[in-house]
Amino acid sequence: MKPATRIILIGAPVAIAVSAILGIGGEEEIPLADRPREARKTAAPVQNPLASGTASERQALEARIAKMPAGLADPAKKEIAAQLVSSAEHSTLNWRGRYGSIEDLGDGRGYTAGIIGFCSGTNDMLQLVEAYTADHPDNGLARYLPALRKVDGSDSHEGLDPGFTDAWAAEAAKPPFRAAQDAARDRIYFDPAVRLAKMDGLGTLGQFIYYDAMLLHGPGLARDGFYGIRQEAMRKARTAAEGGAEKRYLNAFLDESRSAMRARTGPARRDTSRIDTAQRVFLRNGNTRLTPPLQWRMYGEAFRIPAS
């Protein structure tokens, strides 16, 4: 593992609905169209762009999205996305080997665990264990649910030590818990990010940039949450769905994401390699489809995904 300053996944779900967006644009002929891990206040929180629209509008939009190219949701591209995230979160492309990882990184989020860094202090770990326990009530983590509810929003280990880390690692050896981690990742982060990126007319790389930002900043409405960052980027450049240049918009979005990362102080201040020497490199090279071979550096370490 790299230093704790880089593995910070901020997120919890917001109520997700969708509003209709019309038009055509973007790569691959795509039609146009946080709860933060630490409490933050903002004078003017933005509105969740996915939280409006009538039932008929949502139905029409979902039908439109279903006709779009798979993009990052294509199994081969989703595998690449998992490897890219794992290079940042675990310094390895072997993301499947990280289901059982768990440690306190000293970043104020309690325990960080699993394939994307579910945290005991940020609600997503609680959601994961609750959902898993609903399907598997006799699992080894179920007895820790009262403690997880109590420490949610803090860095406390009260009620979790000394057995929680061993219980997590033991449960992660079981296929159902690994599947539960996959499902929570998709429900809280991957699916909403990819859907919104498609609505914004973004191709596969843009969809990954949204997904990674959703993991980093959480699906929050404050300026340093995902939706706040997106709104700030839209003030500087039009999305492809609005008729803008995709590359210009994505650069604006990465600028805002990077600024949010650098604005934090102490343990929460992150190394920005995942933007500077990975995503920005792919964008500069025009690889909007995330087509292998892919080469990037993460915290000075070189990674490569060969051509298939």
pLDDT of residue 104: 95
Report whether 252 contacts 236 (CB < 8 A). yes
Query: What domains, with CATH codes, occur in the chain?
Result: 68-95+181-307 (1.20.141.10), 99-173 (3.30.386.10)
pLDDT of residue 35: 30
Q: What is the pLDDT along the chain (308 residues), one digit of tens a residue?
A: 333 322 333 333 333 333 322 232 333 332 222 333 332 233 344 555 655 678 888 788 888 888 899 999 999 999 999 999 999 999 999 999 999 999 999 888 899 999 999 999 989 999 999 999 999 999 999 999 999 999 999 999 999 999 999 999 999 999 999 999 999 999 999 999 999 999 999 999 999 999 999 998 888 888 889 999 999 999 999 999 999 999 999 999 999 999 999 987 665 567 899 999 999 999 999 999 999 999 999 999 999 999 98
Active site residues: 89, 107
* Closest-CA residue to 115 (of 107, 125, 130, 105): 125
Q: Quickly list DSSP for 231-276.
A: HHHHHHS--GGGT--HHHHHHHHHHHHHHHHHH--GGGPPP-HHII
Q: Which residue has the tokens 């509008």?
A: 57
SS3 (DSSP) at 251: helix
SS3 (DSSP) at 153: coil
- Which residues, including other chains, have CB under 8 Å from residue 60's CB and lie 6 or more apart? 20
pLDDT of residue 289: 97
pLDDT of residue 48: 58
| Phi, psi (deg, nearest 5) at residue 297 | -120, 140
For residue 288, give the DSSP letter. Answer: T
Flag whether the pTM goes above 0.75. Answer: yes
* Closest-CA residue to 250 (of 234, 262, 226, 261): 234
pLDDT of residue 299: 93
pLDDT of residue 221: 86
